[in-house]
Structure 1
Amino acid sequence: MNMKIKHFSILAFLLSVSSSTLFAQNLTSHPSNLFAADDAKLVSSDFSFTEGCSVDKKGNVFFTDQPNDKIWKYDTDGKLSIFLDKTGRANGTYFDKKGNLITCADEKGQLWSVSPSGKVKVLINNFNGKQFNGPNDIWIHPNGDLYFTDPYYQRDYWQRTAPDLSENDVYYLPKGSKKIKVAASGLVKPNGIVGTPDGKYLYVSDINAGKTYKYAIEKNGELTEKQLIISKGSDGMTLDEKGNIYLTLGQGVFIYNPGGELIAELKIKDGPSNVCFAGKDKNILFITARKTIYTLPMKVKGVE
């Protein structure tokens, strides 16, 4: 159901969609610098908990409904369909260059590679013989190297009640290798993760610490030069072509410029969990928010 955006001032607009309210306020300039002058849209509210949205090369979005153990597809024509049932309780996802959907299957602490036809291959399932806490979010470097966060969140579908690993770390798997390395440690609960399209920097959100860090990615894949860039944690994350960083936390999507300054905020009553840029031109902001999914036309394009 679409409803027209009402402009209350040059700095804000309010949108009511179905039973949820979406409020956007640009904190430094007029919203039109980022948001297209168009309707926002509640696509569906028929899920249990949406997460892990990723976009393929054509602009189709794939997202998870973890409690229902499904991966859904939202195509560029606005059609919803189930891509995969029985997903290993998939959470975060990311497409590799071959079109495989790499998923954080936290039911057994694994990473899966799912082919376009839905064929599943388990990429990794342990670290030095110990089960991962629960792979949560993932990003793939342009060279094929893979980074993922591994916080421990007790799930009601687990039989285990304590982690095998004592730390909540960020891990790194070089392309073509089976040797997993710790990329970043000393974090409370690393969650959202995203890298720049040039492969030079990685953003990691420590959601329980309320901080988001920026790391330099060395040629050997190691992370150095840890820098606190934003004093806010995040669940899912994405970037746009201007280098702006999109965080999801609580009841908002918070947009920061590359220097870590808050420039805009989308307040979503349902509570956003993740975000990506969808559509053929990657200019549609796709938001997963608990039982719902939203789209919002933008004047910037996504890059990851």
Structure 2
Amino acid sequence: MKLIVTSVLITCILCAKGQSQGGLILISDQFSFAEGPAVDSKGNIYFTDQPNNKIWKYTSEGKLDVFLESAGRSNGLYIDKDDHIIACADEKNELWRIAPSGNVEVLLDQYNGRKFNGPNDVWISPAGGCYFTDPHYQREYWTRKGKEIEEEALYLFQGGILTQVDPDFIKPNGIVGTADGRLLYVADIRADKTYVYDIDEKGNLVNKKLFCNQGSDGMTIDQKGNVYLTGKGVTIYNVQGQKIHHIDVPANWTANVCFGGKEKEYLFITASEKIFKIYPDWL
């Protein structure tokens, strides 16, 4: 894979943190469908433009570049403790690990000899467990038609072992866990529900419970444990599953969210052809 460093002019409303409180800041609106924002150890944000097959990087200093061309039609991303990007590479239904240099390693491409439906979103626990959702969205660029795996399921890849941990979804999508590694949230976007699991000391998921009656594309959690769901704007729930805030976003669809910046002080929102950031003055 070739690493591309192509600077572009950021179509951004530049303002200081104090001026941006309560308001969205447009970073750029040049994408076809922005997805999968993830933050590295320095606060830089990586995100995908899935139809254009690129991964972009937005630095904590405000510079926007193409990080990787031919990005496997990646959707959701997560960055591990070594600053490798774990990417749901939808083009060939694979899970990738991308080094900071841009070199790509295919981690997974099948379960029990059958191709995945299409890994969509991923989260890495502090213990290193890789949890990901595998819904089926038929793509026009696929040669295959239909599923090889009937279940649209949740998986765990840990210690070199892949396990289908929960097949009981209509269409699982967004996923995120808590910083302490004790809870995992997974959205069933077709059922319009989000569930929460306890994670035991071995990484197993137990005590699945309904968290709220709303599905989500991508998801994130803030330092208070509030859960951020996407779709039409961004809706925020407290740890009890009560709706506490909503962010109206001027886009047809908000696909994903994460916190980033030097102090993780901004919420980043990928929304159709746009990416925004906002200073969360509600916290």
User: TM-score, normalization: structure 1?
Assistant: 0.85
- Which of 242, 245, 251 pairs up with 1:261? 242
Which position in structure 1 is the counterpart of 2:4?
Answer: none
* Deviations 1:140-183, CA, capped at 9 Å, x for gaps: 01011110000000111111110100000000011x31x21011
Which position in structure 1 is the counterpart of 2:74?
Answer: 90
* Deviations 1:64-104, CA, capped at 9 Å, x for gaps: 00000000001111111011000111110001111100100
Contact 1:2 1:40 in 2 (8 A): no
Aligned residue type for 1:155 = R
- 1:173 to 2:157 alignment: yes
| Structure 1 segment 110-259 matched on structure 2, within 5 A | 110-174=94-158, 176-177=159-160, 179-249=161-231, 251-259=232-240
1:185 Cα deviation after fit: 1.7
- Which of 260, 265, 268 pairs up with 1:286? 268
Alpha-carbon distance in structure 1 between the residues aligned to 2:282 and 2:60: 17
Q: 1:131 to 1:242 in 2, by over 3 A?
A: same
3-state DSSP of counterpart to 1:285: strand
Alpha-carbon distance in structure 2 between the residues aligned to 1:37 and 1:272: 20
Alpha-carbon distance in structure 2 between the residues aligned to 1:40 and 1:126: 40
Contact 2:22 2:281 in 1 (8 A): no
Which position in structure 1 is the counterpart of 2:6?
Answer: none
User: TM-score, normalization: structure 2?
Assistant: 0.91
Alpha-carbon distance in structure 2 between the residues aligned to 1:146 and 1:170: 11
Alpha-carbon distance in structure 1 between the residues aligned to 2:133 and 2:48: 17
Aligned residue type for 1:128 = N
1:212 Cα deviation after fit: 0.2
Alpha-carbon distance in structure 2 between the residues aligned to 1:39 and 1:191: 28
1:39 Cα deviation after fit: 4.4
Which position in structure 2 is the counterpart of 1:17?
Answer: none
Aligned residue type for 2:239 = P
Alpha-carbon distance in structure 2 between the residues aligned to 1:230 and 1:154: 28
Contact 2:109 2:115 in 1 (8 A): yes
Q: 1:57 to 1:300 in 2, by over 3 A?
A: farther
3-state DSSP of counterpart to 2:267: strand
Alpha-carbon distance in structure 2 between the residues aligned to 1:191 and 1:207: 6
Alpha-carbon distance in structure 2 between the residues aligned to 1:217 and 1:197: 12
Q: 1:75 to 1:86 in 2, by over 3 A?
A: same
Q: Could you list the runs of 5+ residues in structure 1 that have no partner in the other structure?
A: 5-34
